[in-house]
Amino acid sequence: MSAGHDVRFLDVFKGQPKAVWITAFAAVIAFMGIGLVDPILLSIAEALRAGPEQVTLLFSSYLGVQVVAMLITGAFSARFGPKRTVVTGLVLIVIATVLCALASSIGELVALRAVWGLGNAFFIATALSVIVGAASGGQGAAIMLYEAALGIGLSTGPLLGALLGNISWRGPFAGTAVLMAIALILSAGFLPKDGPRSERTKVRLLDPIRALGHGGLLRTALGSAFYTAAFFIVLAWSPFVLEFGAIAVGLVFFGWGLCVAFAGVFLAPRLAARFGEVGGTIIAVLSFAVLLGVMAIGSKPVVVVAVILSGLASGLLNTLFTGSAMSISDAPRPVASAGYNFLRWLGGAVAATVVGHIATLFGSNHAPFAVGAVLCVIAAGLLSLELRTKGDAHQVPAEAALVGEEF
């Protein structure tokens, strides 16, 4: 480990520009939206008289629109600037969350979650490139900050959803609308103005798809898609297996989210430094497969423990996959991010759509977990191809070495 990269963990959070902190705060709120509905899925199903297949559409409509919109975020950002793109995304999210709190049917709620997904697409891909471009400490520090925001958002989303959802299923949507409005005001007022269009990298509409022509980025994105499908099987289906109340589900996923944050920020750099980014990702995704296998055959208490521990594997995988995707090709960061996120979230959208049907097909509520385990093994196989291509099992990436032996 070179001295140039021997940076203590806390140093990553010192001296960051205002734009980084504002974008990171907005990212926390945006990622809260992913797990926000988790504790209230059963409440929504009961209040709106909807079955599990309909309720899980709250994930698939959100992610499905987000997937398609990812393809245009790079071109939109290049044409209108990153600040306008971020603000546009936040405006859409605020509108969608307010209307979600007023929805009167599951159809309305699914449609509004699609608008929410559109806003998230504009925000998420642009937020990562904004943080990477503005953060002091290089790409490694930026990814660490981004993954910290992801972990905090994923852990607090279910908790907020549980606390407000215990009052009414509409509460979490109203609460998110308020927080997102604060993020919107901060972003509109304090993010630096967009520079002249002539200074921005020209991005064409299909550039994210063309970027996936790079073999390494394609294999990384496909591996992430299979993993993300398994990730959303855990997120969208566990409440139906556990059948707990909103507070209990919120606490389970709060513990899960804390594990995501801890592993993504503290453990992932060390795993990558020891085994290489690709080697570390293979270890993490196979660990996730084992935990999903345990969920497929375990009792409710075992499922609870496995769900919480799966947050460690997810934290590792979120950071390692993102680090690889942002550095593996020579495509501009916004383009690589859009192409990678397109496939990544496509996996989640498909999983959230079919998970209820998988349980019906196999006649078991635990069957989706077994399918998720198989998907993780497939992801490991794709990454093994990349490992043989790069031969970097023991290479220490500069970004992975960013966190030194001391925190």
Domain residue limits, the chain? 3-193+204-402
Q: What is the pLDDT of residue 50?
A: 86
Q: What is the pLDDT of residue 40?
A: 83
Query: Which residues does 388 contact at the CB level (< 8 Å), separation at least 6?
Result: none
This prediction has a pTM of 0.79
pLDDT at 391 over 90: no
Residue range 80-125, pLDDT digits in tens: 888 888 899 999 999 999 999 999 999 999 999 999 989 988 887 6
Helix (H, G, I), strand (E, B) or coil at 100: helix
Q: What is the pLDDT of residue 137?
A: 64
Per the model's pLDDT, the better-predicted residue between 119 and 334 turns out to be 119
Q: How far is CA 184 from the centre of its chain?
A: 20
- Name the band, by pLDDT with cuts 50, 70 and 90, for residue 198: low
Helix (H, G, I), strand (E, B) or coil at 403: strand
| Alpha carbon distances (Å) from 326 to 142, 220, 221, 339, 390 | 11, 10, 11, 11, 16
Q: What is the rounded distance in angstroms from the CA atom of residue 279 to the CA atom of residue 271?
A: 9
CB 61 within 8 A of CB 187: no
What is the average per-residue pLDDT within 366-382?
95
Percent of the chain with pLDDT over 70: 86
What is the average per-residue pLDDT within 134-143?
68
CA torsion, ordered 120, 374, 318, 384, to nearest 10 deg: -130
pLDDT at 267 over 70: yes
pLDDT at 329 over 90: no
Q: What is the rounded distance in angstroms from the CA atom of residue 244 to the CA atom of residue 195?
A: 50
Percent of the chain with pLDDT over 90: 27
Highest mean pLDDT among 19-23, 98-102, 133-137, 248-252: 98-102
Q: What is the pLDDT of residue 305?
A: 96
Q: What is the pLDDT of residue 3?
A: 35
Per the model's pLDDT, the better-predicted residue between 110 and 55 turns out to be 110
| Alpha carbon distances (Å) from 364 to 20, 106, 252, 281, 355 | 45, 25, 22, 30, 11
Q: What is the pLDDT of residue 401?
A: 37
Q: What is the pLDDT of residue 222?
A: 94
Q: What is the pLDDT of residue 373?
A: 97
- Name the band, by pLDDT with cuts 50, 70 and 90, for residue 399: very low
b/e map of 37-61 (b: 16 or more CB within 10 Å)? bbbbbbbbbeebebebebbbbbbbb
pLDDT at 348 over 70: yes
Residue range 201-230, pLDDT digits in tens: 666 777 888 888 888 888 989 999 999 999
- Name the band, by pLDDT with cuts 50, 70 and 90, for residue 4: very low
Residue range 280-326, pLDDT digits in tens: 999 999 999 999 999 999 899 999 999 999 999 999 998 888 777 77
Q: What is the pLDDT of residue 87?
A: 92
Reading the block at residue 327, the tokens are 């550095």
Of 197, 183, 151, 145, residue with least CA distance to 17: 145
Q: What is the rounded distance in angstroms from the CA atom of residue 100 to the CA atom of residue 106?
A: 10
Q: What is the pLDDT of residue 335?
A: 77
Residue range 27-41, pLDDT digits in tens: 888 788 777 777 887
* Domain 3-193+204-402: CATH architecture, name and number where available: Up-down Bundle (1.20)
Reading the block at residue 244, the tokens are 């707990």
- Name the band, by pLDDT with cuts 50, 70 and 90, for residue 407: very low
Q: What is the rounded distance in angstroms from the CA atom of residue 189 to the CA atom of residue 186?
A: 5
Average pLDDT, the chain: 82
